[in-house]
Structure 1
Amino acid sequence: MDVSSIAKLSTSIAETGQRQEVNLAVLKKAQQIQASTATQLLDALPSVQGANLPPHLGNKINTTA
């Protein structure tokens, strides 16, 4: 194996590692943004407590439909 080919291989491996680190950082940031957006959407939902529904609603599930 030639010294220059070893240097090229080493450089290629280092560049690949850096690209993977950057891709991972971008992925983590995208996940943080999605989590933040999901939290905002959930917080925007109206409260069910203030709906003044009858107390019997939601106590039974019709399984014979």
Structure 2
Amino acid sequence: MDSLSAAIVSTAQGLQQTQLQQQVSTAVLKSALNIQAASAAALIQALPQPQLASSGTLGTLVNTYA
């Protein structure tokens, strides 16, 4: 095998390793995002629902909350 072929093989192996590292990094990132999404959903579910106003002039005409 001449030096050019060896360089091509070495480059291809390096590219494969880089691709694998990127795939692993992407999988770890997706996992972290899924954990954060689950945590955020749990926090939102834990919030108490606001009580609606039943008398007075403030909050009795429009039934909205954020």
| TM-score (ref. length: structure 1) | 0.75
Alpha-carbon distance between aligned partners in 2 of 1:42 and 1:16, rounded to the nearest angstrom:
39
Deviation at residue 53 of structure 1 after TM alignment: 2.3
Aligned-residue offset at 1:54: 3.4
Which of 44, 56, 60 is 2:46 aligned to?
A: 44
RCO comparison, higher one (Cα < 8 Å, 6+): 2
Alignment TM-score, normalising by the size of structure 2: 0.74
Offset from partner CA, 1:11-33 (integer Å, 9 cap, x none): 01100110110011011101100
Between the aligned partners of 2:14 and 2:52, the Cα distance in structure 1 is 65
Map of 1:15-54 to 2, 5 A cutoff? 15-48=17-50, 51-54=51-54
Offset, 1:3: 1.3
Q: 1:52: how far off?
A: 4.9
Find the counterpart in structure 2 of residue 2 from structure 1: 4
Identity of aligned residues (%): 30
- Aligned residue pairs total 57
| Poorly superposed stretches of 4+, deviation over 4 Å | none
CA RMSD of aligned residues (A): 1.9
